[in-house]
Amino acid sequence: MKNYTEEELGWNSFLENQLSAFPSTFVAGRISSENKNNYRLLLPGVGEVMAECTGKLLFNALDKSELPKVGDWVLVTYFPDENKALIMELLERRNTLSRKVAGEITEAQVMATHVDKVLIVQGLDDNFNLNRLIRSMVLVRECGIIPLIVLNKADLITDMDAYLNPIQEHLGDVKVMVLSALNDQGLEPLENEINAGETLVLLGSSGAGKSTLLNRLLGEQTVTTGAVRAGDAKGRHTTTRREMHILPNGGILIDTPGTRELQLLSTKDSLTETFDQISELAYDCRYKDCTHTVEAGCAVLEALDDGVIPELAYENYLKLRNEDAYMESRTDQKAFLEKKAQDKKLHKQIRNIYKSRKQR
């Protein structure tokens, strides 16, 4: 196993600044995979070591999301003789890629942490699904992370526009890359998106070709891949756990299992349909420049009242609309804070819309 530097593993000043609060005997490492309380850790200057949490860390965690996850930076005590480490502290996360899991209380399930970009992968066979694409994108953006869309298996189709046109229509200015992981075709634009020290997550349902793509970027057959079913192109859940890999040209890629994890926001309704529906209804709004939030005579709000448009779909519509300006200047701290403030305002607005509609 190759041994990496801190920078190659994604270390930055945000992490460096946290160190002064802890004993200098602790060393920092990054979680590369997780299996219950057994972790694999990449330790700069050392390589891969097995690690476990201290009892204190386990005890103090309020829920599972406060325990180390793939992508996390932790502080450990390292025992070179056994090549093992004890995880003492979890460093603060810059962000988390997480989804909400339904339960008694809504708990966030953390898929990965300290993430720069998420590659939303779909195969251009029966795997392709525009609604799922939109939901994935909403989720990634809600986490404050840049989504990039990867349409894989380009070797299987001829009419690309049939896919690209609706995507462009619904997703606006998100980057879409069309490629074939199998034929090594169209990989360059993607490789240009992956900078040294950046962390990317492969997200997509089983069979989309995430692991095949990872192998291609690694330049070798490191990860197991599996054929899809003949009838419906459904995958067989070949990858079973999230795992971090370091690419030869720099860049850190986290492969994930394509499970039902991909039912990201639990709406049964077709989001695309809702988008179309809203633009159509908008013709009947009293004001031409109606924002469909507070206006009298708004046909969209009326449809919401009547239950014609599901609440969740309406919220996603508002969120997606809110994203455009922000994504352009995401690297800029001021824009980031403005976006946070805007999000807060939007949530409040959504609550108020519901409140005022229910009172009538």
Ligand X SMILES: Nc1nc2c(ncn2[C@@H]2O[C@H](COP(=O)(O)OP(=O)(O)OP(=O)(O)O)[C@@H](O)[C@H]2O)c(=O)[nH]1
Cβ nearer to Mg ion, comparing 256 with 277: 256
Decide if residue 152 touches Mg ion (CB under 5 A). Answer: no
Contact letters (x/-) for ligand X, 193-232, by CB under 6 A?
Answer: -----------x-xxxxxxx------------xxxx----
CB of 228 to ligand X, least distance (A): 5
204 binds, among Zn ion, Mg ion, ligand X, none (CB under 5 to 8 A by kind): ligand X
Cβ nearer to Zn ion, comparing 187 with 318: 318
Cβ nearer to ligand X, comparing 113 with 122: 122
Enter the DSSP assignment of 254.
E
Distance CA(268)–CA(289), nearest Å, equals: 30
CB of 360 to ligand X, least distance (A): 47
> Within 61-204, where are the H helices?
130-142, 161-171, 188-193
254 binds, among ligand X, Zn ion, Mg ion, none (CB under 5 to 8 A by kind): none
Question: Which residue in 38, 45, 48 sits closest to 83, CA to CA?
Answer: 48
Distance CA(76)–CA(68), nearest Å, equals: 12
Decide if residue 136 touches ligand X (CB under 6 A). Answer: no
Cβ nearer to ligand X, comparing 236 with 340: 236
Helices 130-142 and 271-281: angle between axes, nearest 10 degrees = 90
290 binds, among ligand X, Mg ion, Zn ion, none (CB under 5 to 8 A by kind): Zn ion
Distance CA(114)–CA(119), nearest Å, equals: 15
285 binds, among Zn ion, Mg ion, ligand X, none (CB under 5 to 8 A by kind): Zn ion
206 binds, among Mg ion, Zn ion, ligand X, none (CB under 5 to 8 A by kind): ligand X
CB of 202 to Mg ion, least distance (A): 8
* Amino acid in the structure at residue 169: E
Tokens 């593993």 -> residue = 9
CB of 184 to ligand X, least distance (A): 9
Binding segment toward Mg ion, per CB under 5 A, in 134-142, 205-213, 312-320, 327-335: 205-213
Q: Which residue is nearest to ligand X (CB)?
A: 258
With helix as H, strand as E and coil as C, how does 32-71 read? EEEECCEEEEEECCCEEEEEEECHHHHHHCCCHHHCCCCC
Cβ nearer to ligand X, comparing 150 with 303: 150
Distance CA(196)–CA(346), nearest Å, equals: 35
Q: Angle at CA 72, nearest 5°, toward 71 and 75?
A: 140
Decide if residue 235 touches ligand X (CB under 6 A). Answer: yes
Chain positions 214 to 253 lying near Mg ion, rule: CB under 5 A, are 238-239
Question: Which residue in 21, 40, 13 sits closest to 29, CA to CA?
Answer: 40
Proportion of the chain in helix, strand, coil states, percent, rounded to 5: 35, 20, 40
- Tell me whether strands 96-101 and 107-113 are parallel, antiparallel or unpaired: antiparallel
CB of 159 to ligand X, least distance (A): 16
Q: Hey, is 140 helix, strand or coil? A: helix
226 binds, among Zn ion, Mg ion, ligand X, none (CB under 5 to 8 A by kind): ligand X
Decide if residue 32 touches Mg ion (CB under 5 A). Answer: no
Residue ranges in contact with Mg ion by CB under 5 A: 210-211, 238-239
Residue ranges in contact with ligand X by CB under 6 A: 152-153, 155-156, 180-182, 204, 206-212, 225-228, 235-239, 257-258
